A and B are shown apart, each in its own frame.
Chain A
């Protein structure tokens, strides 16, 4: 098993290098090269630009630049933001809690809704419930996430005023990323949690609709495939009750591919972060990314893409390993 995990990690390393190369090449391909990116910062003088070019080794050959850049990333030296002059790692770390809070809550709620719906739909195949769920999943799956966010904001925030239209805290309360937030949280836990919950509702709905549709569909087809297997017929021939057959014989094989899928949808949720956070002004990594894009804050952008890619790779490994653990047929 350890061997399997190590092998799995080893084949991810070239992929990570490939990702860094891809990101680096996008910068190189830009008209004017990577230096063009710094041009828009009006606070920067020509000398400063030259200094940066020299510091980053931008006056050297492309391949050498890449190697230098890669090793500095690898050492954890992700540079400093052109806008705030803070270290990129610090900036990202500041924004991480808000993103993780949103993602993890959404992630759990998503599975709690999607899996039971998928199983129900499969077991009641061709029933009215199944048909209604099928149509709903199609609509959910086709939903342009950011538009759904806009509609929710208009309806439930701007119009009905049930929920706040954005941000993570009320304007009067301390900001989420500030030093005063946690002391305030400790002093007024109920108010703070209530406020967080209220701010979470609309972003979470926006974030999970597409994934709930996709995951429940996946669960449904996996369940359907399982209950058509020969061994389910064997179980029926034994005289077991349908409920027992589903619980004891069908559920685990049907969940096997779903578990992999569950691990793989977390990165997909991260992609949704940029959409949801931009609509709801949620102060996480996605919003940081959007503002760094606007300001051409090159080190921050690269840092975020790199971190998320590493995240996705790790989750791919986790998906493979869990699959290997729960399926007795796979030997490592």
Chain B
């Protein structure tokens, strides 16, 4: 079966005052119909840029998408579509939920107007039908007394409720693919769980494929069929959810997992933060981009060769020159000099 979405050789760079920022460097992946794919990485790893490139929402300039790149959606290369063809796909075939529900809704339009406008545009509904559908959608995403709230403005909703409105807007035209870019990051922890539950339920009820982008491995754990980890604009590990958690094969993923606090771990497993900062995306190192921060590094080899994604087990691929597992002992070597535990340092303009 042909995958719903197939991304080939995606390269995106940004022209900035400091030089060309290579935000996404040759990314390849696919997503099947009805599947949920998690994309995990620090800010600046290129995950958001990837999703924006798929939707063609990056302003060009400053963004430059390599001409060899392909985004095949049901076999059609989105990057080659004309603007008006692309508009028929946005919101109808592929919909998107953004990180900050506080700023992603138009403050001067009622939410009713904002939900019905896609319905009128893509489904050619009249006012009445669109309103009816909007109420259904609000009920579906769990907004109480939906009829009364259509005329309300975004500022009259809480953050979690606003994100529900965003989701209602996104699923309004039954999209085949839903891209959720850090949908829970801006929310309180309890609300986060509710929103994730809602996404899970909708996936079951509607059968929509979901691309869930997050910096939090905890968020994707219970939700995704497959997970891929991004670092410095590249995919560094990809596997089904279970094996990725049970047996991570890329030192970066191991580091990420080690830095999540766990209550169920036996013994005295300490939190081990990843040392150092992500690389400068203008002048990428010639070798492995994670090498300076890697606990298992062997400088002589790692600094000269870029590790490609390779199959380490069936359906499990990792970009490391060595066969590292959680059990591999960490070699003795001088710790990297910068001790900052930067998990949220912005290095690319699009975050």
Contacts and interface: CB of A to CB of B under 8 A. Distances in A.
Chain B associates with chain A = yes
Interface of A: 229-231, 233-241, 248-249, 252-253, 256, 327-329
A252 B108 contact: yes
A239 B118 contact: yes
A228 to B, nearest CB: 9
Main secondary structure of the interface of A (DSSP, over half): helix
A236 to B, nearest CB: 6
A237 B107 contact: no
A52 to B, nearest CB: 58
Interface residues of B, number: 29
Contacts of B169: 234, 238
A240 B100 contact: no
A205 to B, nearest CB: 35
29 contacts: A229-B103, A230-B98, A230-B100, A231-B107, A233-B98, A233-B104, A234-B96, A234-B98, A234-B104, A234-B106, A234-B166, A235-B106, A236-B90, A237-B55, A237-B90, A237-B96, A237-B98, A239-B88, A239-B92, A240-B87, A240-B117, A240-B121, A241-B84, A249-B109, A328-B107, A328-B108, A328-B153, A328-B155, A329-B153
Nearest to A227: B59
Contacts of A328: 107-108, 153, 155
B105 A234 contact: yes
Interface of B: 55, 57, 84, 86-92, 95-96, 98, 100, 103-109, 117-118, 121-122, 153, 155, 166, 169
A246 B86 CA distance: 18
A253 B103 CA distance: 13
Contacts of B55: 237
Nearest to B59: A228
A327 B106 CA distance: 12
Nearest to B92: A239
Contact of B107 (A233, A236, A239, A253): A253
A239 B87 contact: yes
B350 to A, nearest CB: 11
Q: Which of the listed residues B86, B95, B109 has the most CB atoms from chain A within 10 Å of its own CB?
A: B109
Given A239-B88, A253-B106, A329 B57 contact: no
A239 B89 contact: yes
A238 B91 contact: yes
Contacts of A253: 106-108
A303 B55 CA distance: 63
A325 to B, nearest CB: 12
